[in-house]
Amino acid sequence: MSLSKQILQGDSRAVAKLITMVEDDFQSAQRFLEELHPYCGKAIVVGITGPPGSGKSTVTDQLAKYLRRKEKKVGIIAIDPSSPFTGGAILGDRIRMQDLATDKDVFIRSVGSRGHLGGLSRSTQAVVKIMDAMGKDFIFIETVGVGQSEIDIIKVSDIVLLIVMPGMGDDIQVIKAGIMEIGDIFVVNKADRDGTDRLIAEIEMMLHLEKKVKSWEKPILKTIGTQNIGFDSLWMEIEKCFHHLEASGEMIQRRKNRTRKEIYDLLQESWREMFFDLIGEDHLEKEVEKVSRQDDDPYHATERLISIFKENLFKRGE
């Protein structure tokens, strides 16, 4: 049986193998993704983001368990940072999801960011697609712990939850511009700690100042992840938000944006490969040398490389 067929039947080994292929060698994986594409688009994708230590994994775990009680099938993509020096990574999100490990209807994949900035990995969108094709009803994407600008999660999710916690110094530091704007729903986790009410008040204040572009009023919910408190109401808000986005036409727009990003990323990837293929590494290194020696500036170097590219492109065309 072909790999794609196995995946469509929900075979977890086949799914795991294709995810590895997507991560290591996208081009080889592409024909399988082509085969799976017609079966995608059914899953609802929920992004979970927030600063390190706010409880993203625990919240994801609790939401997944909630959905399992309703017999929904769940996929989880848990992203952790790769070392910029060695490329290695410790992927530890599963520590908070131990109970889900043997549930046949939950598929969890830990992913290293592998040099990709923005809080995701380069292949996240393809991994979503594979889990969608295997028949998951809901897919959670848990980003790396974010600071102030990792906002790629909105480009791949239907709905984004921003998880924050009280007591991280100046509370509002953790949710500055960018991060603050991407959450459809705010979750104040660890809400049994001191400072919860103050944090909620500060978020409320900020939301009042935010220009209301959509009619969706962003709710702020309290949860205590380790005690499974607050997740019924959180899920109700998620459903409400989803229906609202669908009714207002915003969901269609978001999914269209996602498609745009996907095509754009693929273009960029093939374009880049073609570019470096055509200019050749020697030329590039020569320019690096020249500019490092202060013999020339990077602007002229770039111009020269582009002319080489154009020249070789025409030659190849002939």
Binding-site ranges for another protein (CB under 8 A): 12-13, 15-17, 19-20, 23-27, 82-83, 86-92, 94-95, 98, 101-102, 107-110, 112, 114, 273
Give the C-alpha separation, 297 to 19, whole Å. 42
Are 78 and 93 in contact, with CB atoms under 8 Å apart? Answer: yes
The three-class DSSP label of residue 117 is coil
Task: Pick between residue 67 and residue 200 the one whose CB is nearest to another protein.
Answer: 67
Task: Pick between residue 85 and residue 314 the one whose CB is nearest to another protein.
Answer: 85
Are 32 and 126 in contact, with CB atoms under 8 Å apart? Answer: no
Are 261 and 279 in contact, with CB atoms under 8 Å apart? Answer: no
Minimum CB separation from another protein for residue 131, in Å? 11
Minimum CB separation from another protein for residue 245, in Å? 30
Give the C-alpha separation, 141 to 56, whole Å. 10
Minimum CB separation from another protein for residue 183, in Å? 28
Task: Pick between residue 98 and residue 215 the one whose CB is nearest to another protein.
Answer: 98
Task: Pick between residue 21 and residue 175 the one whose CB is nearest to another protein.
Answer: 21
Task: Pick between residue 74 and residue 182 the one whose CB is nearest to another protein.
Answer: 74
User: DSSP class of residue 222?
Assistant: E
Minimum CB separation from another protein for residue 213, in Å? 38
Residue 41's alpha-carbon distances to 36, 141, 297, in angstroms, are: 10, 16, 48
Task: Pick between residue 2 and residue 20 the one whose CB is nearest to another protein.
Answer: 20
Are 106 and 89 in contact, with CB atoms under 8 Å apart? Answer: no
Give the neighbor-by-neighbor strand order of the sheet with 44-49.
106-112, 74-80, 138-142, 44-49, 159-164, 185-188, 220-222
Minimum CB separation from another protein for residue 103, in Å? 9
Residue 60's alpha-carbon distances to 42, 142, 264, in angstroms, are: 20, 8, 29
Task: Pick between residue 85 and residue 299 the one whose CB is nearest to another protein.
Answer: 85
Minimum CB separation from another protein for residue 239, in Å? 27
Task: Pick between residue 103 and residue 202 the one whose CB is nearest to another protein.
Answer: 103
Minimum CB separation from another protein for residue 99, in Å? 9
Minimum CB separation from another protein for residue 101, in Å? 4
Residue 26's alpha-carbon distances to 23, 29, 194, 214, in angstroms, are: 6, 5, 47, 37
